[in-house]
Amino acid sequence: MLKITPNKKNIGAEVVFDIKNLSKKDLLIIKKALSEYGMLYFKKQKLNSKLYIKFAKNFGKIAKYPRLKGLSKKYPQITVVQRKVTDKGPSFGEQFHTDSIYTKKPPRFTMLFSKLVPKKGKANTDFSSQYIAYKNLSKTMKKKLHKIKGIYSSEGPISLTTRERVKEKGRKIKELKSSHNIIKKINLKCAIYCSPGHLMSFTTNIKNQDRLKKFLFNHQIKKKFRFSLPWEKNQLAIWDNRSMLHQATPFKGNRIMHRITIQ
């Protein structure tokens, strides 16, 4: 049996279900819910890496993450997001963003599977629904935003946290840049598609770029659009990068997450 319980204001939903028993019909229900709520989480999943990858492939082609190494030779598709109790500085992804927006074809979905977590409530992932953020814009602002693109860089404001992790993995960093429309239409619904962690500027001739940036960032992450997801061990979450912003929250402790991004 599969049970879906939406969070308040439909910002994400919990799915009570054992992924190992996935049927075609279940998958359709899950995909529909993902499109509707933007983020789904499944508690108590006993998945090894092989089954995790198998589940991920149901949502599309697995993307290569250009900035971190894979889990192992056998499972290069999984990247490890790890924080040790001794780590200083911000966590990986500690500012609202959408993943890899600085690439030409950013991954549609991101999955995290928790292998080791600190105490409950200590290392949540925050989400902000960009469907709701769009809906709450004024008519004039909607019109304005439909016409412009954002230019994004892997060296944007959030890159400090990536640099820390990359240093550990010993890889060189090459700057990646791309531009995308600020408003995205997904299954006939509009969402603000702008990553505060990566935005450098806008493409069109806007007089006061900084003012628009400030307005957009403040608006995108208003409390009323947000849900904070607590983690427990063996919990899997998947979200739509096109309609959800996310951020890691600061914490001190040991945590290991296995991450897969889907094109």
Query: How near is the Cβ of 180 to Fe ion at its closest, in Å?
Result: 16
Task: Say whether 44 sits in a helix, a strand or coil.
Answer: coil
Count the site residues for Fe ion by CB under 5 A: 2
Residue 214 contacts residue 132 (beta carbons within 8 Å): no
Q: Please say which residue, 17 or 127, places its beta carbon nearer to Fe ion.
A: 127
Give Cα separations from 243 to 23, 156, 192, 199, 225 (angstroms): 26, 20, 7, 16, 11
What distance in Å separates the CA atoms of residue 237 and residue 58, rounded to the nearest whole number?
14
What is the distance in angstroms between the CA of the first residue and the CA of the last residue of the chain? 29
* Residue 93 in the binding site for Fe ion (CB under 5 A): yes
φ, ψ dihedrals at 143, nearest 5°: -60, -45
What would the two tokens of residue 241 be? Answer: 């990068």
Region of 43-51, 58-66, 85-93, 145-153 interacting with Fe ion (CB under 5 A): 85-93
Q: Please say which residue, 97 or 213, places its beta carbon nearer to Fe ion.
A: 97
Q: Please say which residue, 99 or 240, places its beta carbon nearer to Fe ion.
A: 99
Interstrand relation of 149-153 and 125-129 (parallel, antiparallel or unpaired): unpaired
Q: Please say which residue, 69 or 142, places its beta carbon nearer to Fe ion.
A: 69
* Residue 99 in the binding site for Fe ion (CB under 5 A): yes
* Residue 150 in the binding site for Fe ion (CB under 5 A): no
Q: Please say which residue, 17 or 251, places its beta carbon nearer to Fe ion.
A: 251
Task: Name the residue whose CB lies closest to Fe ion.
Answer: 93
* Residue 240 in the binding site for Fe ion (CB under 5 A): no
Query: How near is the Cβ of 1 to Fe ion at its closest, in Å?
Result: 32
Q: Which residues bind Fe ion (CB under 5 A)?
A: 93, 99
